[in-house]
Structure 1
Amino acid sequence: MAYPHPDDAPSSRSSREWAIAAAQTIVCLVLGIALWFISTGLTLTEYQNAPPLALRTFTLGELVVGLPIALVIGPLRFLRPGRLHTVLHIALAVVGSAGTLGLPAATLALVRIGRRRQLAPDAVVLALLCALGVALAALDHAMRSTAGTRVDALLPIVVMALAAIPLLVGHTLATRQILVASLGRQAVAAQKAREAAEREAGALRRERDAEIERVRAEERAALARDMHDSISHQLATIAMHAGALTYREDLSPAQVRSAAGTVRDAAQVANQELKEVLLALRSTEGAVPLPTAPTLDEIVDLARESGQDVTLTWDGVTPAELAARSRGTVVAMARILSEAVANAAKHSPGAPVAASLTRTGHRLVLHVRNPLPGPPEEPHDAPSTGHGLIGIQERARLRGGDATTRREQDSFEMEAWVPW
């Protein structure tokens, strides 16, 4: 990924950017004039206010050349990066370094060259500054009529060391700015990734909730279909006995009371099951016949025929007693047992399944237990959505009961109950 260069020209020349440019110009101008006055004062003191003509000419030249350099160094920050930008700053660095007044501006130019983080401009400006230093030293010796061979030999090293400092400062500033920009982009990318992950998690939760609601709706629909025949049977019983009471005048008081009791019992059962149907309130299309009490034993027999080891024990209740209760209770227990056996076959194939139907007080409890599958290294491919257990719980709750599951260290247990 290409990053924008840290020394790119400001995208908008706002009042703040102009203030920075003006501040750079003023600082370079003030420092340059101060250095020029100090240098001029030392020269006048050295020659007792009568320096050679060549030195006076050079000092005046510093003033003439250094002032424009100090004035333009600030606005040049708006110049777009490129070859012209590099050439102008190299020229300013070399020319400005020739005198004291342009030295601060030349230093700032070196910093900007360093911010480009390019080896070629750095090498060129260092070479030119070394050559300039040697030439200025020779010129100074000529103007002062002195010699200093030892100083001349060390001069290129000193010049390179001094010029390398602002170049390294520019490199450091640019690297820091690029690092900060990169961290900022990473932070933005991380924030976007977190937001995307949160949106995905929210979508998964909504999808899961919708799937759970769909399973529960299917269970309600199944319960409503199962109740269809039961309510029809109770209503037919009421109509038959009530019709007999309307035209049979030869019935004894005992027979009348018996028929009225039958009508009353059928009405109570129909009323209870109608409430359950209204609670589910689903379409009756595709209604199937209601299973009877032996369906529990038939479920066990079918599982055994498929190779499953399933046992069902009755405790405190018999198939006949169960059949005499609400037929909705029979259907609920049959559906719950069927789902529990199928769940055991899926997750623990070949393992024995122990089921028990127990009446305890005012509850009818179905308990199913099966061992857990073998160690993880054994192959076992049984994808599961958990919808079967949700359906069991929904089926029990629609009958006024509930269902729970429990995973032990070596077994899985399901317990569902409905009112008796």
Structure 2
Amino acid sequence: MSPDPRTLPVRTWRPSGWAVGATTGAMVVLSAWTLVGERSSPGSHAAPLALDIAVGLAAVALVPALFRRPVPAAVAVAVLAALAPTATPASTAATYVVGRSRRLATAVVVAVVGSAAHVVSGLWRPVHGLALGWWVVLVLAAHAALLAVGALAQARSALLAGLTERARTAEADRDRHVAEAVAAERTRIAREMHDVLAHRLSLLATYAGALEYRPDASPERLAQAAGVVRSGVHQALEELRDVVGVLRDDPGDGVPPPSPDLDQLDGLVREARAAGGHVDVVVDLDGDPPGMLGRTVYRLVQEGLTNARKHAPAEPVRVRVTGRPGAGVEVTVTNPLRPVRADVPGSGTGLVGLTERVRIVGGRLEHGPDSAEFRLSAWLPWPP
């Protein structure tokens, strides 16, 4: 929908220097032509030649001022037009300039002043062969036409300026939306990297800790632990490559695999137990949660196990996942609070990203110390 020109602001009209010069030159030619025509017609003796020349020169001198201060210059030229016809070209041009550069109400007043000046000129220096009534009609028609053309040009310029501004605003909005989308995508990628790698690296830290603190273990156990570390590093690199795949410039290079869902929960628990953790899991679901819901449940359990392994290693972890359609899904991960030093550093962003995940699906998340244990509890809606 195009903007209404009546609602657009009046913009200052600043013609170029050559346009002002060309207009001034044209007024010189037209004033001279008017002087010759006036002097060659009967009744030219009504006014001295010096007056016509002086008024014409003064009117031409005011032409450049029309483009800087249109209203006062137009009024001054109109007064000169009442004294001599040689100011008529400049006066009529002033009507157009004011209509082009000022609001319509102001331009109408200036046009009325200019028309009145020409009527006065026709009274004391009538045009030979033209009745006064017809002279008034011609004057009013000419000023009305010049006023309309100037106002139309102003409205067109304002419309183009408004459309340009709207296009610039739309482009700025588009750039802002793109920047917001890029920021959101970066946040999503960072969350994916945390969810995928934090769990895997915490397992590696657990096995590496066993190698460090149990140097007296049998060679078979040490070799097994070293093999698990090597395999875990390989898997971590594969998962990192999958996550960073979303940053590729060419989408045709490959599509990252979908995020794990509830079907892979057993494998997640087996990894935690294989690392020496004591994990008690109860899953009581009446059906299979849909994709987004299942992936969120998986991430909740994964984050709970990862945090327990970081901050309470070797402590038992209880996982409860219950729910049914219409009632929602409840996920609870708890582990005892013990003053045990964790060797795995935490970024502190895991629970923040998890809270955003839960919020997106319309659920709620609570986490923190509860009596003598740390509890991560979430409720997720499950449509019937």
TM-score bin (small chain): 0.5 to 0.7
Task: Note if contact 1:107-1:166 (Cα within 8 Å) is conserved in structure 2.
Answer: yes
Q: Deviations over 1:116-161 (max 9, x none)?
A: 124255235425524642x4444356x97x9x8xx44454333211
Q: Deviations over 1:11-51 (max 9, x none)?
A: xxxxx52x33322211110122123323433x1xxxxxxx5
Q: Deviations over 1:351-391 (max 9, x none)?
A: 9xxxxxxxxxxxxxxxxxxxxxxxxxxxx94479xxxxxxx
Deviates more, 1:152-161 or 1:205-214: 152-161
| TM-fit CA distance, 1:221 | 2.9
Structure 1 unaligned regions, length at least 5:
11-15, 44-50, 80-84, 240-262, 282-288, 312-330, 332-337, 352-379, 385-409, 411-420
Task: Note if contact 1:21-1:75 (Cα within 8 Å) is conserved in structure 2.
Answer: no
| TM-fit CA distance, 1:73 | 0.9
Are the structure 2 counterparts of residues 290 and 92 from structure 1 closer, same or farther at C-alpha, using a change threshold of 3 Å?
Answer: closer
1:101 maps onto 2:86 in alignment: yes
SS in 2 for 1:291: helix
Task: Note if contact 2:81-2:118 (Cα within 8 Å) is conserved in structure 1.
Answer: no
Matches within 5 A, 1:16-35: 17=17, 19-35=18-34
| TM-fit CA distance, 1:97 | 6.2
| TM-fit CA distance, 1:348 | 7.5
Q: Deviations over 1:146-199 (max 9, x none)?
A: 9x8xx4445433321111111222212222222233233323322322222222
- In structure 2, the residue matched to 1:273 is 228
- In structure 2, the residue matched to 1:291 is 273
Given the alignment, which residue of 183, 197, 200 partners 1:217?
197
SS in 2 for 1:101: helix
Are the structure 2 counterparts of residues 70 and 297 from structure 1 closer, same or farther at C-alpha, using a change threshold of 3 Å?
Answer: closer
TM-score by length of 2: 0.54
| TM-fit CA distance, 1:275 | 1.2
Task: Note if contact 2:273-2:279 (Cα within 8 Å) is conserved in structure 1.
Answer: no
Task: Note if contact 1:89-1:110 (Cα within 8 Å) is conserved in structure 2.
Answer: yes
- In structure 2, the residue matched to 1:90 is 75
Given the alignment, which residue of 122, 125, 138 partners 1:158?
138
1-structure distance, mates of 2:287, 2:125? 111
SS in 2 for 1:102: helix
1:176 maps onto 2:166 in alignment: no
- In structure 1, the residue matched to 2:47 is 58
| TM-fit CA distance, 1:109 | 1.0
- In structure 2, the residue matched to 1:36 is 35
Are the structure 2 counterparts of residues 110 and 131 from structure 1 closer, same or farther at C-alpha, using a change threshold of 3 Å?
Answer: closer
Task: Note if contact 1:94-1:125 (Cα within 8 Å) is conserved in structure 2.
Answer: no
Task: Note if contact 2:31-2:87 (Cα within 8 Å) is conserved in structure 1.
Answer: yes
- In structure 1, the residue matched to 2:63 is 73
Task: Note if contact 2:56-2:86 (Cα within 8 Å) is conserved in structure 1.
Answer: yes
1-structure distance, mates of 2:233, 2:198? 15
| AA partner of residue 21 (structure 1) | V
Structure 2 unaligned regions, length at least 5:
1-6, 238-270, 289-304, 306-316, 330-360, 366-382
Aligned residues: 268
Larger Rg over CA atoms: 1
Given the alignment, which residue of 99, 102, 109 partners 1:123?
109
Q: Deviations over 1:102-123 (max 9, x none)?
A: 2221122111221312425523
| TM-fit CA distance, 1:91 | 2.6
1-structure distance, mates of 2:205, 2:325? 29
Given the alignment, which residue of 2, 6, 12 partners 1:6?
12
2-structure distance, mates of 1:309, 1:346? 5
- In structure 2, the residue matched to 1:354 is none
| AA partner of residue 95 (structure 1) | L
| AA partner of residue 54 (structure 2) | V
Matches within 5 A, 1:199-218: 199-218=179-198
2-structure distance, mates of 1:221, 1:91? 86
Matches within 5 A, 1:215-294: 215-224=195-204, 227=207, 238=218, 263=220, 269-279=224-234, 291=273
| AA partner of residue 33 (structure 1) | A
SS in 2 for 1:303: strand
| AA partner of residue 90 (structure 1) | V
SS in 1 for 2:273: coil
| TM-fit CA distance, 1:100 | 4.0
Are the structure 2 counterparts of residues 233 and 30 from structure 1 closer, same or farther at C-alpha, using a change threshold of 3 Å?
Answer: closer
2-structure distance, mates of 1:231, 1:347? 46
Are the structure 2 counterparts of residues 157 and 341 from structure 1 closer, same or farther at C-alpha, using a change threshold of 3 Å?
Answer: farther
| AA partner of residue 291 (structure 1) | R
SS in 2 for 1:78: coil
- In structure 1, the residue matched to 2:167 is 187
